[in-house]
Amino acid sequence: MELTSPRLPAPLKFTHVVRFLPASLNRLRNPGFESGDANWSKNETGYQIDDAQAHSGRHSLRLRNATVQDRGSASQTITLNQTVPRPIVVRGHAKAENVSGHSNRTFAVYVDTLFICSATGFLILSTGAYRVYEGESATGAVLAEGGALPADVEVGPTFAQVGFDTLWQGAGSSFIAVSLAFFCLTTIIAYYYMAETNLRFILGKAAPVPVPLIRGTVGGNATILLQALILGSVVSGAVSTATEAWTLGDIGVGLMAWLNIIGIIILQQPAYKALRDYEKQKKQGLDPIFDPIPLGIVGAKFWETRDPVTGKERMAVPTPVE
């Protein structure tokens, strides 16, 4: 779209970004259950149409699972018949009641730090399977030891293995092997997920660009290189000594720490803006909500498209590109 005026030296071009899906494009039939359960199929324990709870219409779908074995659900089959591949947008709203437990996104951090790490430390200390070296290096003089370790034992998981053997003779090696297998698998999955997510974010709009003379796109080929790097690291770590593995780990953690420090320095200004706005709203007796637009915080794309009061998406606004 172009805007022209005698007062403008050149036409202004605008783009219109649609932040909502028109009802006419929704391929679901009876998506809001306004016509009861028409066009929907019941699965297993089924469902009920609820007229007391609704998001934007007058009805909603209520699923009640009295036991963990119940599997109430609803389904609808849609045939797309696309001749040209196009993105599919799937969206819904959910509410839970009388569900045991509570949401905690940092649960894994607490389990890893407070349970696994602490249990390992207490196992080593309580069984006497420890040896403290001067300068935190096996080449230094021994400052203290519990007496359970053999003289030639290598610093590393063997400490926990020997400690477990004092409680259950011969089971320490199997226990440590199985524990390390699960630990390594989950660590590889988590680190690869974070690496690929950050790689795609860094590539941005360049990810879908085709690569000349090579099949695939920039994002696809970069992901293959990342996968090869991860596989090479796994193979190298599997055949390295514990000392070499810990050295590489220390280097990686150090680099990650420096990158995080740089990121914190860059983000300190918007962080202080959000903190001051939060404290201001608390002093006014309000329930604080985060809205980056009046604060002048740029780049918070998720929050820019949502109304902080209603939680719904904002209406689309023309954005000048020139």
pLDDT digits (tens, 9 = 90+) for 220-257: 899 999 999 999 988 888 888 777 877 888 888 899 89
pLDDT digits (tens, 9 = 90+) for 287-306: 888 888 888 888 887 777 77
Residues 6+ apart with CB under 8 A from 37: 47, 49, 74
pTM of the predicted model over 0.75: no
The pLDDT of residue 102: 56
Most confident of 42-56, 92-106, 260-274: 260-274
The pLDDT of residue 262: 92
Q: What is the mean pLDDT of the chain?
A: 79
pLDDT digits (tens, 9 = 90+) for 97-156: 776 655 566 677 777 777 788 888 888 888 888 888 888 777 788 888 888 888 888 787
**Cα–Cα–Cα angle for 49, 54, 57, rounded to 5 degrees:** 95
The pLDDT of residue 214: 79
Where in the chain does DSSP place strands (E)?
2-3, 12-15, 41-43, 48-50, 60-62, 73-75, 131-133, 142-145, 319-320
